[in-house]
């Protein structure tokens, strides 16, 4: 997923990468969010577009502890995806094939026992919202297929792909509601383009809409979903629109593309629930 030169040189994800794949039953869009603390804003951008979060945890001795201890990114990312509205979480306990782990069930259970209380505190229900799966990204074990050897023989649950294809509860979609497309990014390329998430409604190529809160009328002249040009997109789709009637500098992340006859509400005063994930106190 790390495709640009900066990401390959640093060995870490910087931007929120995008890819997709299909199974016999479903179409999935992957948003590869940065894990490094310096790129948290990019990670939040990915989380706001997601229906399901996949938290990849290292089982290697020392690495899990570094990520989970105070100041580690595991805690921050779990809290951020919950506050972004993600309700379902799959925890992939990776590197189970590492020499310090050797597919040890006790290590898997140890990580689960330490992580679950914190995830419950974030607001995830351990019985309905979370699933733990031991995997090896290097060998592919339990990603799509079960390993043929005895490694991980103690794990009787589904592989990752099988779980999201068959066990994941279908997300509620409001196809009949007014158009609501949240803008997460914008750029200029032979016109004004926005990247967003369809939260409700249906958008058809050529449709006239309104960009809020500046009440700017726009026309959707081209539509893409997963880099494939489309004539229409629906609630739940991650999309890219080319817009007519607005300049790139007139639109910002967080703006909403709406139906002209059902504009979203705007206001200068609002109630907010604020979460402080980490406070540095100096005496």
216 plus 141 within the same structural domain: no
- Digit-coded pLDDT (tens) for 210-219: 999 999 999 9
In a domain, 2, yes or no: no
Residue 213 counted as domain residue: yes
User: Do the beta carbons of residue 30 and residue 1 sit within 8 Å?
Assistant: yes
Domain count, the chain: 2
Q: Is the pLDDT of residue 149 over 80?
A: no
Q: What is the pLDDT of residue 15?
A: 57
Identify whether 41 is part of a domain: no
In this predicted structure, which of 2-6, 52-56, 144-148 has the lowest mean pLDDT?
A: 2-6
pLDDT one-digit tens code per residue, 74-129 = 888 888 888 888 889 999 999 999 999 999 999 999 999 999 999 999 899 999 99
pLDDT above 80 for 143: yes
pLDDT band at 192 (very low <50, low <70, confident <90, very high): very high
Same domain, 55 and 135: yes
The secondary element (H helix, E strand) that includes residue 63 is helix 63-68
Residue 56 lies in a domain: yes
Last residue of a domain, one of 139, 167, 195: 167
At residue 35 the predicted structure's pLDDT band, cuts being 50, 70 and 90, is low
The answer to whether residue 77 is domain-embedded is yes
34 located within any domain? no
Q: What confidence score (pLDDT) does residue 270 get? A: 86
Is 244 part of a structural domain of the chain? yes
At 52-82, the pLDDT tens digits run: 889 999 999 989 988 887 667 788 888 888 8
129 in the same domain as 221? no
Sign of CA dihedral 102, 33, 18, 116: positive
Does the pLDDT at position 276 exceed 80? no
Per residue in 10-20, pLDDT (tens digit) is 444 445 677 88
**Does 253 map to a domain?**
yes
Task: Specify the CATH number for the domain of residue 126.
Answer: 3.40.50.300
**What single-letter DSSP state applies at residue 148?**
S
Same domain, 216 and 240: yes
Sole residue written with tokens 């005496």: 283
What is the domain extent for residue 136?
50-167
Residues 191 and 98 in one domain: no
Across the strands, what pairs with 22? Answer: 27
Contact 184, 198 (CB under 8 A): no
Residue 190 belongs to a domain with what CATH number? Answer: 2.40.30.10
């Amino acid at each position: 997923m790390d495709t640009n030169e900066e990401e390959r040189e640093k060995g870490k994800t910087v931007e929120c990468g995008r890819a997709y794949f299909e199974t016999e039953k479903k179409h999935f869009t992957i948003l590869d969010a940065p894990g490094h603390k310096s790129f948290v804003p990019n990670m939040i951008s990915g989380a706001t577009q997601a229906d399901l979060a996949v938290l990849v945890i290292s089982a290697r001795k020392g690495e899990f502890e570094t990520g989970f201890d105070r100041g580690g990114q595991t805690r921050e990312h779990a809290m951020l995806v919950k506050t972004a509205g993600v309700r379902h979480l799959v925890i992939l306990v990776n590197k189970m094939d590492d020499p310090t782990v050797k597919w040890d069930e006790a290590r898997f259970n140890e990580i689960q026992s330490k992580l679950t209380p914190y995830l419950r505190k974030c607001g995830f229900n351990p019985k309905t919202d979370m699933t733990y799966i031991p995997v090896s990204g290097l060998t592919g074990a339990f990603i799509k297929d079960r390993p043929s050897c005895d490694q991980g023989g103690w794990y009787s649950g589904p592989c990752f792909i099988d779980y999201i294809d068959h066990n994941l509860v279908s997300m509620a979609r409001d196809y009949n509601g007014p158009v609501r497309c949240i803008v997460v990014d914008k750029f200029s390329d032979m016109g004004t383009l926005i990247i967003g998430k369809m939260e409700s409604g249906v958008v058809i190529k050529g449709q006239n809409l309104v960009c809020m809160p500046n009440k700017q009328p726009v026309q959707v002249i081209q539509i893409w979903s997963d880099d494939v040009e489309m004539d229409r997109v629906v609630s739940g789709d991650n999309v890219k629109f080319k817009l007519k009637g607005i300049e790139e500098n007139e639109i910002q992340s967080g703006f909403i593309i709406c139906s002209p006859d059902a504009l979203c509400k705007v206001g200068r005063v609002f109630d907010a629930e604020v979460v402080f994930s980490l406070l540095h106190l100096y005496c």
